């Protein structure tokens, strides 16, 4: 399931770009110097469009650091930053820390959305590097498990 390019996180853009009611996944974040910087991964088991609407105007969890030109872009705790990553600087109180952009993808089922969300969660550094406080939970009543945990423990 391929995510769509970063789009501005607004009700108007969601209505224009997310055309159907479907299970799906999304990443929320910011665009810095033309590059999408994800800070949260999530999913909906039945309506990714509705779930995205719920995120419009919501502040990110980490607001301690951000690039000087824009509001809080997070408190990433990575030891090394990739080349060309914008420098993070302290930001003050009252800073607009709302997620500004999103990517999304449809999924054929709640289970498929969960598996994609897990893959993105681990690929992007998990709770150490994302605003997600915990690992994604499987859909209610589902028996699927995170493949990363199966490989790590099995």
Structure tokens at 13: 């853009």
The answer to whether 32 touches 99, Cβ cutoff 8 Å, is no
Our measurement of the distance from residue 108's CA atom to the centroid of its chain's CA atoms, rounded to an integer in Å, reads 20
Residue 71 DSSP code: S
| Through-space distance between the first and last CA atoms of the chain, rounded to whole angstroms | 26
Q: Are strands 101-106 and 24-32 parallel, antiparallel or unpaired?
A: antiparallel
In the prediction, which pLDDT does 71 show? 42
Sequence-distant (≥ 6) Cβ neighbours of residue 82 within 8 angstroms: none
Sequence-distant (≥ 6) Cβ neighbours of residue 67 within 8 angstroms: 32, 73, 86, 87, 88, 89
In the prediction, which pLDDT does 6 show? 93
In the prediction, which pLDDT does 81 show? 43
In the prediction, which pLDDT does 98 show? 82
In the prediction, which pLDDT does 4 show? 61
In the prediction, which pLDDT does 130 show? 93
Residues of the chain with pLDDT under 50: 63-95, 153-154
Q: Which helix (H) or strand (E) holds 15?
A: helix 11-17
In the prediction, which pLDDT does 134 show? 93
């Amino acid at each position: 399931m391929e995510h769509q390019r970063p789009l501005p996180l607004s009700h108007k853009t969601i209505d224009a770009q997310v055309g159907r009611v479907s299970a799906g996944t999304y990443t929320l974040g910011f665009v810095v110097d033309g590059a999408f910087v994800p800070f949260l991964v999530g999913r909906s088991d039945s309506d990714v469009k509705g779930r995205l609407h719920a995120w419009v105007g919501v502040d990110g969890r980490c607001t301690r650091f951000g690039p000087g030109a824009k509001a809080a872009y997070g408190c990433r705790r990575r030891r090394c930053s990739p080349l060309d990553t914008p420098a993070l600087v302290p930001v003050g109180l009252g800073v607009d820390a709302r997620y500004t952009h999103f990517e999304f993808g449809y999924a054929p089922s709640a289970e498929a959305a969960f598996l994609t969300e897990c893959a993105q969660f681990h690929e992007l550094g998990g709770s150490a590097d994302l605003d997600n406080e915990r690992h994604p939970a499987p859909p209610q009543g589902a028996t699927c498990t995170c493949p990363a945990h199966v490989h790590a423990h099995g």
